Amino acid sequence: MKRADKGMPYLLQYEHVAWYENGKVRILDRRIYPTEIKFVECVTHKEVAQAIADMVTQSAGPYTAAGMGMALAAYEVRDKTKEEQLSFLENAGHTIGYARPTTANRMTQITGNCFEVGKQALEKNESAVDAIFQTTIDSLNRRYTIMDKVGRTLLKKIPKNGTILTQCFGETIVGTLLRAAKEEGNQLKVYCAETRPYLQGARLTSSCATDLGFETTVITDNMVAYVMENKGIDVFTSAADTIARDGHIANKIGTNQIAILAQHYDVPYFVTGIPDSDKFSRKDIVIEERDPKQVLEYRGIPNTLASVQGIYPSFDITPPTRISGVVTDKGIYSPYDLETYFELETTQFY
């Protein structure tokens, strides 16, 4: 089986993201990694959707889980009529695709493709399970290969042996950027903002960086100005959960305030990812409000008195005025020029 995850850190090897096998989907629980290495095991596609909603996997992890979840859905109805299987798969695609609203446009591309592949397999009297699993692997290979181009393009904007600051967990771009740097002998230094409330930067991004041998430092989210002023940050970079055509991007809450500081300290901010064809402006971006309990406690331990309230907007929006460039598979674009991205032929990503 062809795989594009060679040389990637533990977290980004396919089986350690989400994996379908023998009527089950195993998803690495990123909420507790690396304190514990534990997998959530799902036996129905609804359990996969719930795992995605509960942030068992984050960043690009849900895209993999979505495909594997569709293979599981096909397994659930493997003994039904073709009509029943197709109806079930269509409903499963909606359930999984809308598990998290901010990225539903991307997730439904994945589940929609899985549905079509499953339909074609059934029309040929072939296994929809096998076909959907294979298309999920193909999608992974495609995304990893495309993001490898993005990572290598971004690396050219970072000084040799330079220092970068990351926000949250950029998943594939983190792995491909650092893999490329390692191949080129470029000893980057990586500062990871911890990313409250789930600490994805501290737990996930830093794990990938140190796995590949890079000098890695975690900072709390309120240390960014100090670090930019005193530690010589050359580039601030993050992925984006949404990149609208007008240059507004949505990413983990806190990204916008780091972008403000980067602008103040003359640190370039490069966003990585593929622009969303169906997001035309800021108005098209939906910000997911999650359970405030996740802010008021951590791993079940309350941080406040019971009467204290909290809010948890999962993402914020950074305007194009604070973005130095959007690094894509086709090169680096001004955030004011993203419309031209769609004038060139686009490779299927999701």
Look at 101-110, 132-141, 157-166, 192-201 and tell me which has the smallest mean pLDDT.
Answer: 101-110
- Residue-averaged pLDDT of the chain: 95
Q: How confident is the model over 298-315, as pLDDT tens digits?
A: 888 999 999 999 999 999
Q: Which residues contact 289 (CB under 8 A, 6 or more apart)?
A: 311, 312, 313, 314
pLDDT value at residue 145? 95
Delimit the domains of the chain by residue range: 10-144, 157-342
CATH 3.40.50.300 fits 157-342, yes or no: no
Name the catalytic one among 5, 54, 221, 241.
Answer: 241
Whether the Cβ atoms of residue 28 and residue 17 lie closer than 8 Å to each other: yes
| pLDDT at residue 345 tops 80 | no
DSSP state of 313: B
| pLDDT at residue 8 tops 70 | yes
Sign of the four-CA dihedral 157, 158, 159, 160: negative
Angle at 233 between CA 230 and CA 234, to 5 degrees: 140
Q: How far apart are CA 143 and CA 176, in angstroms?
A: 11
pTM: 0.89
Active site residue 54: no
pLDDT value at residue 1? 67
| pLDDT at residue 348 tops 80 | no
Task: Report, as an integer, the average pLDDT of 230-257.
Answer: 97
Which residue in the block uniquely carries the two structure tokens 């409250």? 196
Q: How confident is the model over 159-197, as pLDDT tens digits?
A: 999 999 999 999 999 999 999 999 999 999 999 999 999
Per CATH, the number for 10-144 is: 1.20.120.420
| pLDDT at residue 268 tops 70 | yes
Angle at 206 between CA 67 and CA 173, to 5 degrees: 45
Distance (Å) of CA 120 to CA 80, 92, 126, 134: 16, 17, 8, 13
Residue 186's closest CA among 207, 162, 164, 205? 162
Structure tokens at 184: 């080129």
Whether the Cβ atoms of residue 98 and residue 90 lie closer than 8 Å to each other: no
